[in-house]
Amino acid sequence: MNRHMQYLASQAVAGKLSRRDFLGKAAALGFTAVSANLLLSTAAKAAGPQKGGTIRLGLQGGSTTDSLDPALVTNTVGLMVTRLWGETLVELADDGGIEGKLAESHEASADAKTWTFKLRPGVTYSNGQNVTAEDVVKTMERHSGEDTKSGALGIMRGIKDVRADGDSVVFELDSPNADLPYLLADYHLIIQPNGGNDDPAAAIGTGPYIMKSSDMGVRFVAEKNPNYWGDLGNADTVEIIVINDDTARVAALQSGQVDVIDRVPPRTAKLVDRAPNITVHSTSAAGHYVFIMHCNTAPFDNNDVRMALKYGINRQEMVDKILNGYGTVGNDTPINASYPMYTELEQRQFDPDKAMHHLKKAGHDGSILLRTSDNSFPGAPDASALFQQSLGSAGIQLDVKREPNDGYWSEVWNNKPFCTSYWGGRPTQDQMFTTAYLSTADWNDTRFNNEQFDQMLVAARGELDVAKRTQMYADMSTILRDEGGLICPMFNDFVEATTDNVDGWVEGIPGQVLMNGYAASKLWVKA
């Protein structure tokens, strides 16, 4: 029976049987639509990618104020466009490891302080120039220079010196860092001719596509790069349309105007998935929705107040009602199973008695003020109301103040002592902790100052023994969970959708949105 179905599926993929007929036959044989579709897509993947056609993406998060300069990329559209025309030295592999892109191979010195990346020979930019080690050095300098505006500045800080050595590039670090390749996989660090110093927004790179037109915040068109060194890029043309309105984006997918969309609203994702020609993909990720308390500001400077609030939140309810099930429960640490050296800690549960106990111990009375707005994360005001209720059942009064979306990131976040926010996550524990929980971190938005934590973080960075390092990260997570200013009730999945017009979606790729930003070049249009 199954073999017969597989045969039918391969017929359908080869175009000898219409999809509708296939699904009809499958239903007659007792297969559900889901398993039949799965069979079909497995057969399609076995048949291999098809070349040609146009793939169209409708994406949220682009703006007319954007730039093609990779240093200034801040949103999904920027990430997707950059991935089309440019490449980094190394990249996250589908399994969460590191694979070479422009660097063919890399190795670290025994103390993890000197790293050598060997460039892939014979790669050219879209303008015909050869990629040189000097370009790589210039690129790194541009992102780490004194007057840079690069989003990668934070992660470049530990790099003391970058120099070209024949066809290799050598990085000298201030202190050992076993995770350097993960840092260099950052999407800002696109290698450009002369480091992009001449015209950073020229979109000249080594990527699988060449930009044909770029209308910021509106529409981007790219065509296949005939001289691309690798095998990325199936469609001849990629078109990216910026659709910031949720309903409009879903409608564009349903009406067949685009093949792929990102950020399907969790509230309607199940309805969208029910449409016959659409598949919703939910990818667990490192992104999390949070309530952040400043550990140095009263009343949150008392750990018992923080614990009271942590026990007073109903995490499962948040996942069910705010994410509509498209996510996982958090444990007051920014680390979840999507990280390479994750250790599971005991899950903290909603416990009104313990919450009250800690609040009494702290001697705090009166209410606590939480600030929120819709753009801190989708549904943040609702989540705040749920938090208010669960705390209320523990006898703790929470006041919720709704702030305007405009100016939230400058006026409230990282400014007021207790507010809602989100984190996109990072590829490694080290990067996540260094970005937000190190005492001296630029975005220490919980004002967390813990000497022991800082020391462990630096020590773990230079530790090449994976078992020891894993234990160190588990200990750091425990410190954050029990003393930190972070209440992390949930990790949000990336919820994205494709039409049956395209195939090749790989589930569960870690890192960024839309198959780590490679959806446009790895998916293919079905003939």
Partner 1 sequence: MSPVFKLLAQRIALSLLLLLLISMVIFAGTMILPGDVAQSILGQSATPEALANLRAELGVNDPPVQRYFAWLFGAIQGDLGTALTSGQDISEALASRFWNTLFLAFWAAVVAVPLAIFLGLLAVRFKDRWPDKLISGVTLASISIPEFLIGYVLMYLVAVQLRWFPSVAMINDNMSLFEKLNAIALPIAVLTLVVLAHMMRMTRAAILNVMQSAYIETAELKGLNAFQVIYRHAFPNAVAPIVNVVMLNLAYLVVGVVVIEVVFVYPGMGQYLVDHVSKRDVPVVQACGLIFAAVYIGLNMIADVVAILSNPRLRHPK
Cβ atoms < 10 Å from Cβ of 116: 15
Site for partner 1 (CB under 8 A): which residue of 74, 116, 268, 501?
74
Residues 6+ apart with CB under 8 A from 494: 262, 263, 281, 282, 283, 285, 287, 513, 514
CB of 289 closer than 8 Å to CB of 383: yes
Residue 99 lies near partner 1 (rule: CB under 8 A): no
Nearest to 311, CA basis, from 327, 325, 332, 294: 332
Instruction: Please say which residue, 245 or 344, places its beta carbon nearer to partner 1.
Output: 245
Residues 6+ apart with CB under 8 A from 283: 493, 494, 495, 496, 507, 508, 509
Residues 427-456 that bind partner 1 (CB under 8 A): 442-443
DSSP annotation of 130: B
Q: Does 193 sit behind a cis peptide bond, omega within 30 degrees of 0 on the bond before it?
A: no
CB of 122 closer than 8 Å to CB of 229: yes
Q: What is the C-alpha separation between 140 and 159, in angstroms, rounded?
A: 9
Instruction: Please say which residue, 218 or 369, places its beta carbon nearer to partner 1.
Output: 218
In angstroms, what is the C-alpha Rg of the chain? 24
Q: Does 70 sit behind a cis peptide bond, omega within 30 degrees of 0 on the bond before it?
A: no
CB of 510 closer than 8 Å to CB of 285: yes
Instruction: Please say which residue, 174 or 465, places its beta carbon nearer to partner 1.
Output: 174
Residue 58 lies near partner 1 (rule: CB under 8 A): yes
C-alpha torsion angle, residues 134, 138, 140, 145 (rounded to 10): 150
Helix axes 33-47, 2-13, angle to 10 degrees: 60
Site for partner 1 (CB under 8 A): which residue of 4, 149, 274, 402?
149
In the chain, the amino acid numbered 423 is W
CB of 246 vs partner 1, minimal distance in Å: 10
What is the pattern of x (binds partner 1, CB under 8 A) and - over residues 256-275? Answer: xxx-----------------
* Total residues at interface with partner 1 (CB under 8 A): 45
CB of 304 vs partner 1, minimal distance in Å: 30
Instruction: Please say which residue, 20 or 468, places its beta carbon nearer to partner 1.
Output: 20
Site for partner 1 (CB under 8 A): which residue of 241, 419, 472, 497?
241
Residue 20 lies near partner 1 (rule: CB under 8 A): no
Residue 465 lies near partner 1 (rule: CB under 8 A): no
Which span (77-85, 142-150, 322-330, 366-374) binds partner 1, by CB under 8 A?
142-150
Residue 218 lies near partner 1 (rule: CB under 8 A): yes
Instruction: Please say which residue, 148 or 324, places its beta carbon nearer to partner 1.
Output: 148
CB of 317 vs partner 1, minimal distance in Å: 27
DSSP annotation string for 176-194: --TTHHHHHT-TT----GG
Residue 410 lies near partner 1 (rule: CB under 8 A): yes
Residue 148 lies near partner 1 (rule: CB under 8 A): yes
Which span (92-100, 238-246, 286-294, 457-465) binds partner 1, by CB under 8 A?
238-246
CB of 320 closer than 8 Å to CB of 373: no
Residue 404 lies near partner 1 (rule: CB under 8 A): yes
Residue 365 lies near partner 1 (rule: CB under 8 A): no
Which span (65-73, 77-85, 167-175, 475-483) binds partner 1, by CB under 8 A?
65-73
Residue 202 lies near partner 1 (rule: CB under 8 A): no
With residue 224 as reference, give the H or E element that holds it.
strand 219-224
Two structure tokens written together for 369: 């003020």
Q: Could you give the residue ranges of the DSSP H alpha helices within 201-329?
A: 246-254, 266-274, 303-311, 315-321
With residue 334 as reference, give the H or E element that holds it.
none
Counting DSSP H helices and E strands in the chain, the numbers are: 19, 21
Q: What is the C-alpha separation between 114 and 220, in angstroms, rounded?
A: 39
In the chain, the amino acid numbered 110 is A
Site for partner 1 (CB under 8 A): which residue of 41, 67, 124, 501?
67
In the chain, the amino acid numbered 276 is P
Residue 238 lies near partner 1 (rule: CB under 8 A): no
Instruction: Please say which residue, 97 or 424, places its beta carbon nearer to partner 1.
Output: 424
Site for partner 1 (CB under 8 A): which residue of 35, 127, 247, 347?
247
Residue 158 lies near partner 1 (rule: CB under 8 A): no
Residue 363 lies near partner 1 (rule: CB under 8 A): no
Instruction: Please say which residue, 2 or 65, places its beta carbon nearer to partner 1.
Output: 65
Residue 407 lies near partner 1 (rule: CB under 8 A): yes
Residue 336 lies near partner 1 (rule: CB under 8 A): no
Binding-site ranges for partner 1 (CB under 8 A): 58, 63-67, 74, 146-151, 153-154, 213, 215-219, 241-245, 247-248, 251-252, 254-258, 404-407, 409-411, 413, 442-443
